[in-house]
Structure 1
Amino acid sequence: MQIRNIAIIAHVDHGKTTLVDKILHQTNVFRANQETGDLIMDNNDLERERGITILAKNVSVVYKDVKINVIDTPGHADFGGEVERVLKMADGVILLVDAFEGPMPQTRFVLQKALQLNLKPMVVINKVDKPNCRPDEVHDAVFDLFFSLDATEEQLDFPTFYGSGKNGWFNDSNVQCEDITPLMDGILKYVPEPKIPEGNLQMQITSLDYSTFLGRIAVGKVTRGMVKENQPISLMQVDGTVKKARVKELYIFESLGKKRVTEVYAGDICAVVGLEDFNIGDTIADAENPEALPVISVDEPTMNMTFSINNSPFFGKDGKFVTSRHLRDRLNKELEKNLALRVQDSDNADSFVVYGRGILHLGVLIETMRREGYELTVGQPQVIVKMIDGKRSEPYENLVVDVPQEFASKVIDLVTRRKGEMHIMETKGDMQHLEFEIPSRGLIGLRTQMLTATAGEAVMAHRFNEYKPWKGPIPGRNNGVLIAKEAGTTTGYSLDKLQDRGFFFVDPGEEVYKGMIIGENSKPGDLVVNANEGKKLTNMRASGSDAATNIAPKTLMTLEECMEYIQHDECIEVTPNFIRMRKVYLDEEDRKKYSKMMKIEEA
């Protein structure tokens, strides 16, 4: 059977997973009466809740007697490590672009990787049914993007399809048709068959799967030769060591699942069971004459955070895994499949420095651990600083903001205060398109402020650009916080009396402890407050009836918002049921000593 291997790449929210849904329906993967729902490929809870793809996934369909392996990739810059490695399995890419937004920063990032691997591109302009869409302008912008990325003549001659994934049609002209048949025919026509060089077995492990019955499973494309069940092989590791092993079981991808087979030929994507101690990037090669494939290189992390055990007064009340050994084992397990992550031991035996691609990348890891029953404390995210040519340098990012015109000045003001420089300003319909270059530090906490300033209308995206000289101090949070004075249960009476001091992150009746952050001060500077005081009751009725307490509901903050909110002397306590912000030093005297030390160091 002929094979086509294709990856779908795009920016966040441009419709990759919806397109995969349509391909599955078009090729009759499901029975006529089967309930499928939508976003079929986003199968873990976090992906469905956030509406984003986090892990790359494989699915295979048969169309006109040709097997098409489709790889759905994440669109978020923080999961670029996932995209870089799975593109190695593909021979062609579908670049999906929104007909209104056009190419975005992440589009550029993933397309660059695909062109470097010499993959054959097809462009799909999605959402042409949206108001304000401009498919022709977007097509020109995509061509300019290809040109600026030094695409070859052959790559510049890409076929373009227009359509709407939501309404289930794609055509090679901007004329509505019945379904996605033109696109499926285009895949067979334009995506080349896998090129198979002569020689012995070679297969690079580009992805991991895990099964409670079979253990760790290696996934990759057989580049040349063939692999059989029970065959002795050499596992060539990234560090140069070669281990002898045997293939216990072999699976190929069929529809949404896997099918056990006895042999797989070059060009197909398969899953190998029975290997131990393998990592992503290792090569499965011939037992007698092993030859390794080039190692997968992944861009370096740009941000780090300190993960430590939960040492708050509520330690161990909520979680199942609470010790530093649990934490170390879990982080090491994550390293096996999360290529863009790094973990280092710190000076303290109970804490680890974890390096990642950005706030979302680290936030998803923390959220996953929390749901698995871990308790931990995480510190403020810090950018990674390097010395380049004797100068202190920090990562810079390209920031793109699309915002209604009336809010453009507010966005420019916010970004320039954080040391951003505007490079492009143009009008797209009734939206203003702004592009900046900004230090990565300036992005921490920017999203929340920007959404507040633009009434939630701003759409922002960013991607790492390069390291440049340090830009000087960047102003942090303007307001201080309200800190609990002592442990206890908050009362409506106290919170009502404190409302003029700011707004709260707790409701009446919640357990708090000394040093916990329970609200934001309406002024600069931190304030210690007593939120646990009850009303003094007497046996005499007050002359006027009690004023009813009108307490504003607490402000709910997501994990990422907390990560962007905290300052260097604060941290987040994360447990399966609670996310609490607190001061690193719970005692007020300790905090004063710490701030004095910091002032002396800065001086």
Structure 2
Amino acid sequence: MQSIRNVAIIAHVDHGKTTLVDKIIHASQIFREGTETGDLILDNQDLEKERGITITSKNVSVRYKGIKINIIDTPGHSDFGGEVERVLKMADGVLLLVDAFEGPMPQTRFVLSKALSLGLKPIVVINKVDKENCRPDEVHEQVFDLMFNLDATEDQLDFQTLYGSSKHGWMSTDWKQQTDSITPLLDAIVEFIPPAPVSEGDPQMQITSLDYSNYVGRIAIGRVKRGEIKEGANLALSKKDGSLKRIKIREVQTFEGLGKTKVESVGSGDICALVGIEDFDLGDTVTTMENPDIIPRIAIDEPTMSMLFTINNSPFFGKEGKFVTSRHLRDRLFRETEKNLALRIEETSSEDKFNVFGRGILHLSVLIETMRREGYELQVGQPQVLIKEIDGVKSEPIEHLVVDVPQETSGKVIELVTQRKGELKIMEPKGDLQHLEFDIPARGIIGLRNNVLTSTAGEAIMTHRFSHYAPFKGEIPGRINGSLIAMESGPATAYSIDKLQDRGVFFVDPGDDLYEGQVIGEHSRENDLVVNVQKGKKLTNMRASGSDNNVKIAPAKKFSLEEALEYIQKDEYLEVTPKSIRMRKILLTENERKRAGNAALSS
């Protein structure tokens, strides 16, 4: 009997998944008594902690009653869906974590359907039963209905359920009986999750994840499917094009606790990290040169969007960041491609401009946000979709968009998607939701998520994958209104913002320092308008009665990074620094913009 259990944790954003892993780690006494660890040990990126989302999957392992339990934390967000499928390939069972008040949420559905279709055995954990108004029994029914709607097998429907509170560190099979420890959950994992199968023979492993270290470079992670992989072994790597490449395993590591431990060999069923393999891709198979046995590849989504990254050359350059030169920018971007596989970088004819290709706005915005946290200043252009010429026809990427949405708001979603040249392919009831499938140009997805979530009160689950290239579908309506642009540099005054309020919506507050050419608002009409918001009130020594009422200004509209990326136009840049996000025209002075406009007309 193999003493390894591989289990993935599935949960909706903010249902306490990472907190539960913390408690399991503490329960198995990985840390010495008195070690200060803080909360959310696994979400080690600041961005993950703040947004409360897991962006990259992580592995930890604990030992309980002589059995090794590998725990794989999965991203809950559908934009990182490609990550989820690969990670589930390493597991034999899943822990489905559900909030005792909210019940199963839309995004849980996406990951759970993948897990069930892979035949993984679920254990349901109903968390936060100490909350007021919680309804564990109803939630249990909802989970059963959800699995039934997702075509779970009878064995999967016969799942074990535990109730408890990750925060207070207890689990029990009956929510009315509070215990004092989390061990009932560990007992359930040992009892109900099937042991990792042992398979003798030539070594075989598929690379499903990767890590990066500044000392040894890229590290391949995967689950050994067959045989034993030893340190110093001469093996082969099967590449995407079908070729075989000789490799030597420099080091084998297994996951122990939060870190990795160097071992001499690792047997089938365990998850391990291999050091010393050069130039590998996700989905490659580690096998033998003599009789190669190749595992079918996992598809990695192609980049469908590009963005121009350039150094910050605005008048406020260098005030807030510490990495501001093109060399800094270049080194940082190329370092990112080592561990972020869906990202590609292309140099341009200019030294300080780089085209960065990614999976979508969220994918690229996580990179930009991480860079600004590290102290980088940069500017990015409007996201562009990759257009190719195929057989002499201008073609664009088409995404296969799947939206699961409550019946009553499905009409609104269809209207929003068809406005953006989406074609409805399938419409069918899926349990209690309406299941819609569209083919939509990738351009149409920019800015769509916000609109769909707004019109469905956050109930829609949107997932999209690159499907194919098809002939260009024509113009898609974008932003209709023009921009309000600052005429000169200096702080904005309440007096002039108040006088200009009928011209549009402002993005800046009185007192904000501005520069000429900065986009400071949205014009109420289609054209751009240059306005002077620095002008103060002419002061006289006479006081007019009643005219000095307090100025009432509508609050400035503030953008998140993703919203700003979706908002900017072709002739605008987004300036990103550690402290601020500003929109600006690429050409700052009005004369330059007019000259460029006249040159475009005459050509």
Q: 1:531 to 1:436 in 2, by over 3 A?
A: farther
**In 1, Cα distance between the equivalents of 2:542 and 2:400?**
62
**In 1, Cα distance between the equivalents of 2:336 and 2:435?**
34
- The aligned residue for residue 139 of structure 2 is 135
Q: 1:541 to 1:400 in 2, by over 3 A?
A: farther
- The aligned residue for residue 416 of structure 1 is 415
- The aligned residue for residue 12 of structure 1 is 13
Q: CA deviation at 1:354?
A: 3.5
- The aligned residue for residue 484 of structure 2 is 482
1:542 counterpart = 2:542: yes
Match of 2:506 among 504, 507, 513: 504
Q: 1:302 to 1:171 in 2, by over 3 A?
A: farther
- The aligned residue for residue 306 of structure 1 is 308
The one-letter amino acid paired with 2:61 is S
TM-score by length of 1: 0.81
Does structure 2 conserve the Cα–Cα contact (< 8 Å) formed by 1:246 and 1:275? yes
| CA deviations over 1:34-70 (Å, ceiling 9, x no partner) | 4444322111111111111111111111112111010
Does structure 1 conserve the Cα–Cα contact (< 8 Å) formed by 2:324 and 2:377? yes
- The aligned residue for residue 144 of structure 1 is 148
- The aligned residue for residue 107 of structure 1 is 108
- The aligned residue for residue 186 of structure 2 is 184
Partner SS, residue 43 of structure 1:
coil
Partner SS, residue 196 of structure 1:
coil
**In 2, Cα distance between the equivalents of 1:356 and 1:176?**
49
Q: CA deviation at 1:170?
A: 4.2
**In 1, Cα distance between the equivalents of 2:60 and 2:133?**
32
- The aligned residue for residue 60 of structure 1 is 61
Is there any run of 5+ residues in structure 2 with no aligned partner, and where? none
Q: 1:71 to 1:255 in 2, by over 3 A?
A: same
**In 2, Cα distance between the equivalents of 1:243 and 1:441?**
39
- The aligned residue for residue 80 of structure 2 is 79
Does structure 2 conserve the Cα–Cα contact (< 8 Å) formed by 1:306 and 1:353? yes
**In 1, Cα distance between the equivalents of 2:573 and 2:403?**
27
Match of 2:377 among 368, 375, 378: 375
**In 2, Cα distance between the equivalents of 1:192 and 1:250?**
25
The one-letter amino acid paired with 2:528 is D
Match of 2:559 among 557, 560, 583: 557
**In 1, Cα distance between the equivalents of 2:363 and 2:96?**
23
Q: 1:41 to 1:276 in 2, by over 3 A?
A: same
Q: CA deviation at 1:74?
A: 0.7
The one-letter amino acid paired with 2:529 is L
Does structure 2 conserve the Cα–Cα contact (< 8 Å) formed by 1:41 and 1:57? yes
- The aligned residue for residue 40 of structure 2 is 39
Q: 1:600 to 1:181 in 2, by over 3 A?
A: farther
Q: CA deviation at 1:184?
A: 2.0
Q: 1:591 to 1:159 in 2, by over 3 A?
A: farther
Q: 1:202 to 1:182 in 2, by over 3 A?
A: same
**In 2, Cα distance between the equivalents of 1:154 and 1:136?**
17
**In 2, Cα distance between the equivalents of 1:471 and 1:98?**
43
Q: CA deviation at 1:3?
A: 0.9
Partner SS, residue 89 of structure 1:
coil
Does structure 1 conserve the Cα–Cα contact (< 8 Å) formed by 2:485 and 2:519? yes
Q: CA deviation at 1:349?
A: 6.8
| CA deviations over 1:501-552 (Å, ceiling 9, x no partner) | 3443334454433321112335554321112335556xx6234499466656
Q: 1:90 to 1:215 in 2, by over 3 A?
A: same
- The aligned residue for residue 520 of structure 1 is 522
Match of 1:338 among 333, 337, 340: 340
- The aligned residue for residue 208 of structure 1 is 210
- For 1:138-537, list aligned pairs within 5 A: 138-147=142-151, 154-172=155-173, 175-178=176-179, 179-286=181-288, 291-301=293-303, 303-315=305-317, 318-322=320-324, 326-344=328-346, 351-382=353-384, 394-399=398-403, 416-417=415-416, 419=418, 439=440, 444-445=446-447, 458=458, 460-464=460-464, 475-477=477-479, 479-522=481-524, 525-534=527-536
Does structure 2 conserve the Cα–Cα contact (< 8 Å) formed by 1:102 and 1:141? no
Q: 1:43 to 1:392 in 2, by over 3 A?
A: closer
**In 1, Cα distance between the equivalents of 2:602 and 2:148?**
53
| CA deviations over 1:206-241 (Å, ceiling 9, x no partner) | 322233444433322222222333444444444455
Match of 2:580 among 578, 581, 584: 578
**In 2, Cα distance between the equivalents of 1:145 and 1:560?**
33
Q: CA deviation at 1:4?
A: 0.8
Does structure 1 conserve the Cα–Cα contact (< 8 Å) formed by 2:385 and 2:396? no
Q: CA deviation at 1:302?
A: 5.0
TM-score by length of 2: 0.81
The one-letter amino acid paired with 1:186 is A
Q: CA deviation at 1:464?
A: 1.7
Q: 1:561 to 1:35 in 2, by over 3 A?
A: same
The one-letter amino acid paired with 2:80 is F
Q: 1:165 to 1:91 in 2, by over 3 A?
A: same
Does structure 2 conserve the Cα–Cα contact (< 8 Å) formed by 1:82 and 1:339? no
Match of 2:569 among 553, 564, 567: 567
**In 1, Cα distance between the equivalents of 2:269 and 2:431?**
46
Q: CA deviation at 1:33?
A: 4.2
The one-letter amino acid paired with 1:334 is E
**In 2, Cα distance between the equivalents of 1:597 and 1:436?**
46
| CA deviations over 1:432-472 (Å, ceiling 9, x no partner) | x8876675656644565678889xx7455421278599887
The one-letter amino acid paired with 2:12 is H
**In 1, Cα distance between the equivalents of 2:46 and 2:225?**
34
**In 2, Cα distance between the equivalents of 1:106 and 1:340?**
22
Q: 1:334 to 1:393 in 2, by over 3 A?
A: closer
Q: CA deviation at 1:171?
A: 4.4
The one-letter amino acid paired with 2:68 is K
**In 2, Cα distance between the equivalents of 1:125 and 1:183?**
11
Partner SS, residue 301 of structure 2:
coil
Does structure 2 conserve the Cα–Cα contact (< 8 Å) formed by 1:424 and 1:436? yes
Q: CA deviation at 1:423?
A: 6.5
The one-letter amino acid paired with 1:142 is L
Aligned pair count reads 585
**In 1, Cα distance between the equivalents of 2:101 and 2:428?**
18
Q: CA deviation at 1:251?
A: 2.7
Q: 1:305 to 1:132 in 2, by over 3 A?
A: farther
**In 1, Cα distance between the equivalents of 2:429 and 2:532?**
49
| CA deviations over 1:344-401 (Å, ceiling 9, x no partner) | 5668775444443332222101111222343332233355679999997733534456
Does structure 2 conserve the Cα–Cα contact (< 8 Å) formed by 1:104 and 1:400? no
Is there any run of 5+ residues in structure 1 with no aligned partner, and where? none
Q: CA deviation at 1:85?
A: 2.3
Q: 1:166 to 1:141 in 2, by over 3 A?
A: farther
**In 1, Cα distance between the equivalents of 2:114 and 2:257?**
27
Q: 1:501 to 1:111 in 2, by over 3 A?
A: same
**In 2, Cα distance between the equivalents of 1:17 and 1:248?**
32
Does structure 1 conserve the Cα–Cα contact (< 8 Å) formed by 2:149 and 2:430? no
Q: 1:118 to 1:565 in 2, by over 3 A?
A: same
The one-letter amino acid paired with 1:260 is K
Partner SS, residue 89 of structure 2:
helix
Does structure 1 conserve the Cα–Cα contact (< 8 Å) formed by 2:412 and 2:455? no
